Chain A
């Protein structure tokens, strides 16, 4: 069973078992524009919900990515090191940022599901 949730900061988290994959949403990538570099967290790092986990650099500016859930980073998407544009091309699949082992699955309940997130984004424009 997998669960997909979104944060108000436009991160998505997909959970299978106790492993969560985190990335940024289609809306976020379109707002950022051409992404040229992603600074990823170190594997093994403990992150609490809302911590700054990554930095995404567009031609224009640097933006922080916050982790929507707490846990330990187990893997990062090393493909982004050579091809940060994957975040623009495929934000929900190939452009994932990092995986983490969830320490508090209950946090997921406070996040938006896909339809709630879509409504949230619509309300921003």
Chain B
């Protein structure tokens, strides 16, 4: 694809200036890595702080009389229980119990702020508009993520109030004189923030954050290895319309009240699976050798028959070896269970591993 046909985020010129390798991703020209490379970017984020441009993701605000109650018709999470400022990971489910997308929902005083995946945003917006009143898409905002153990110290130089935010909470905050919506959240397993900023102010904010010695720009390559080590799902790979929340080991997004009441798409299928169990489960998988095992590799039984598949896999820079996620028969979904994988015709030893692969460093207070 010619990069000229791609959409650009407000940080495009900055990426190019920083020497990023730009690739097409979900219709956008996005930085996959900067000159230091994925390995160093990954390790830098875990050691200090990384700045990610995730402006390709969809941002929307849902208004109306009672948006928390309204959105529960589309997601199985307990959104009504959220206090203003609280954020929750949830899923758009389909009538057949599959997953249409995963998303973040933050309840604010009078509305909900939602962030959805770039590749799904058109469908997600249409899905919400068909069923919810007052869905406003925030086209003119960028989204930056500042992640890593030094993220809070860096961001607090612009507004000390960020220190008081706890993991999975958000608030309107002024940064460099601009009203931003800041949440303490991310996709790396580290402490950090996601900052929704007006498009016109995004590059200045990014440059200011990058002026701190602790902060390096991080591309989509390291974003993927970071989230994989953190055990976080990538939509379209680890979860999709053919996987249910129960199979995907995301049953925790459905709380007791929603299990009792149902009322979300696919509730009959999903609630029955919670009660009776499923035949396959998403698990962490640790290949025992050094060879990375990629998406598409097969999990095979003793007789060589395919019994599961790898949905994400690669080299985990912080783990120092290969890490993967995939689906295995439910009876094998126990950490320590030996697995055989097949990749490029070669059989590899692996075992089911507890997720995440690295310790989470969230700021829970």
- List residues of A whose CB falls within 8 A of some B CB: 33-34, 36-37, 39, 55, 57-62, 81
Contact = CB atoms under 8 A, between A and B. Distances in A.
Interface string B220-246: 011011000000000000000000000
Q: SS class of chain B's interface: helix, strand, loop or mixed?
A: mixed
A33 B292 contact: no
Contact of A37 (B225, B291, B344): B291
Contacts of A60: 32-33, 38, 221, 224, 314
B38 A33 contact: yes
Contacts, number: 43
A57 B291 contact: yes
B342 to A, nearest CB: 14
Interface string B34-46: 0001111010000
Nearest to A34: B39
Given A33-B37, A57-B315, A62 B32 contact: no
B30 to A, nearest CB: 13
Nearest to B315: A36
Contact of B221 (A36, A39, A57, A59): A59
- A33, A34, A39, A62: residue with the most chain B Cβ atoms closer than 10 Å: A34
Contacts of B189: none
A74 B95 CA distance: 59
A115 to B, nearest CB: 26
A50 to B, nearest CB: 17
Interface in B10-57: 32-33, 37-40, 42
B42 A59 contact: yes
Contacts of B222: 59
B317 interface: yes
